[in-house]
Amino acid sequence: MRLEIDNLSRTYGTQRALDGLSLALPEDIRCLALIGPSGGGKSTLLRHIGGLEVPETGHIRVNGEELPRDEEGLRAYRKRNGFLFQSYNLFPHLTALENITLPLIHVHQHTRESAREIASKQLERFGLAAHGEKYPSQLSGGQQQRVALIRAIAANPGILFLDEPTAALDPEMTVEVLELIRELIRDGQQILLCTHEMGFAQAVSDRIAFVASGRIVECAPAQQLFEKPVDETVRRFLSRVLEFR
């Protein structure tokens, strides 16, 4: 994906979540990770790029196209993309398979048969075929989140937006989910990811943007940002969060 953001601001009450944020990524990026301190503005930025919120001021261009501002245009834009958040993603009263087919039928106008075929294929692809008829409560947290990921990619999204997809999971389950995300990236999926998983961000992202106080403090290729951060705030943050690894 190519991304140009110009002077983006967003205030909630008296809280400035985004403060004239700008970012230019004219090259084609496969995976962009947003990292930085809690409350820095990562999720707000992700929601704006994903078309879940309309900018108060500023512009966002994704792949050369200015994001729509009208509800109908935004709905169409969101439909072309996929989303996954921290947790509580699945409908508890539907099986894993039904969770995946539901949006295919109701949002993407697939027939029931075609939706079931897509869902079964994707469950198979990611080693979850045996769990299709189970309800979320019968699955582990990692399995639930993998089903939610499959639901998010079932309709071939242009960009997959992931906001701390493993934050609510145990280490083992985190690994299951990260492996799936890495596989998606290898298969060509474009991803925008907010994460606290520094090792993962470094391993899979082409670019990492450090977001703090509603701005991009530094944006660089992963290795460069982790090994030679230019900004003092980034340096301090990284040395703190990497201290016990």
Nearest distance from residue 36's CB to ligand ADP, in Å?
Answer: 6
CB under 5 to 8 A by kind: which of ligand ADP, Mg ion, none does 132 bind?
none
Nearest distance from residue 153's CB to ligand ADP, in Å?
Answer: 22
Residue 48 makes contact with ligand ADP by CB under 6 A = no
Residue 44 makes contact with Mg ion by CB under 5 A = no
CB closer to ligand ADP, 86 vs 140: 86
Strand order in the sheet with 159-163: 82-84, 159-163, 190-194, 31-35, 207-212, 215-220
Tokens coding 29: 């990026």
Q: Which of 5, 17, 32, 35 binds ligand ADP (CB under 6 A)?
A: 17
Nearest distance from residue 193's CB to Mg ion, in Å?
Answer: 11
Residue 43 makes contact with Mg ion by CB under 5 A = yes
CB closer to ligand ADP, 176 vs 197: 197
Residue 199 makes contact with ligand ADP by CB under 6 A = no
Choose one: 2-10, 35-43, 81-89, 208-216; the region binding Mg ion (CB under 5 A): 35-43
Cβ proximity of 83 and 152 under 8 Å: yes
How far is 51 from 26, CA to CA, in rounded Å?
Answer: 20
Residue 11 makes contact with ligand ADP by CB under 6 A = no
Nearest distance from residue 220's CB to ligand ADP, in Å?
Answer: 19
Residue 50 makes contact with ligand ADP by CB under 6 A = no
Nearest distance from residue 187's CB to ligand ADP, in Å?
Answer: 27
Binding-site size, Mg ion (CB under 5 A): 2
Nearest distance from residue 96's CB to ligand ADP, in Å?
Answer: 28
Chain contacts with Mg ion (rule: CB under 5 A): 42-43
Question: Which residues sit at the interface with ligand ADP, rule CB under 6 A?
Answer: 12, 15, 17, 38-44
